[in-house]
Structure 1
């Protein structure tokens, strides 16, 4: 029973097993590739002059942040390349509910050759905790 409990707790991590949680704005190592983390207040500041492609990776749907461009399940990045910018240098910001699914998606995108990938630290939970609204809950 203790083994099951440990597995259950491991599933609640906000970053992939063995991965350090990146600091906001600092690139994170992702299987030899790199992506960066962005804090909710930093994201709110750049949403006004949006110059990035914004993707909700969470499944099932549990709301969204305004100005989201696409909804792509975290485990479907490679199969959904046609929904992403063709330019692999384009800035892409990912988010999910807690940060775990979007971190997995960020790793996938960097492995696929995308070089300007950002992950919302703490996901929609952190976004709401910072006082910012969600839509469509």
Structure 2
């Protein structure tokens, strides 16, 4: 270990670009983790969503494309097109005190919707990590069709 510490400055001097890339990656990793830590919504696993459904009867919002929603969705989820998603809508505003779970097909586009809900005053906002595909892979029941 002592030999490693003596050779480290020489290595850093000979490989400046590699060391700079390492520092940038470490900083990016730290910033990403801090953003996850301080966001005001929680990402749930399929098991966590099951517990929330059993405990609290949350409002389930599926932002998938309509074709994907009709192929499979979490039972009880309501489809809302991302282009029509508006947390300020008077019908949705009535649910500010409810737990709200935002999901889509693969869990990639739910962060912006969750942030919009938090900004609109929703206090209990969740996302389904991995989306409906993770729900299906966990061998949990899926519904088909428009309802």
CA shift, 1:79, in A, is: 6.8
**Number of residue equivalences:** 111
Q: Distance in 2 between matches of 1:21 and 1:95?
A: 21
TM-score by length of 2: 0.62
Describe the SS at the equivalent of 1:37. strand
**Alpha-carbon distance in structure 2 between the residues aligned to 1:78 and 1:96:** 16
1:48 corresponds to 2:57: no
In structure 1, stretches of 5+ residues that fail to align are 1-18
Q: How far apart are the structure 1 equivalents of 2:143 and 2:33? A: 27
Q: Which structure has more helix as a fraction of its residues?
A: 2
- Residue 115 of structure 1: CA displacement? 1.6
Q: How does 1:32-111 map to 2 (within 5 A)?
A: 34-62=40-68, 63-68=72-77, 70-78=78-86, 81-111=89-119
Structure with more of its chain in strand, by fraction: 1
Contact 1:75 1:104 in 2 (8 A): no
Distance in 1, Cα, partners of 2:81 & 2:88 = 9
1:50 is displaced (CA, Å) by: 4.0
Q: Secondary structure at the match of 1:55?
A: strand
Q: Normalization by structure 1: what TM-score?
A: 0.66
Distance 1:27 1:83, change over 3 A: farther
User: Unaligned stretches of 5+ in structure 2?
Assistant: 1-30
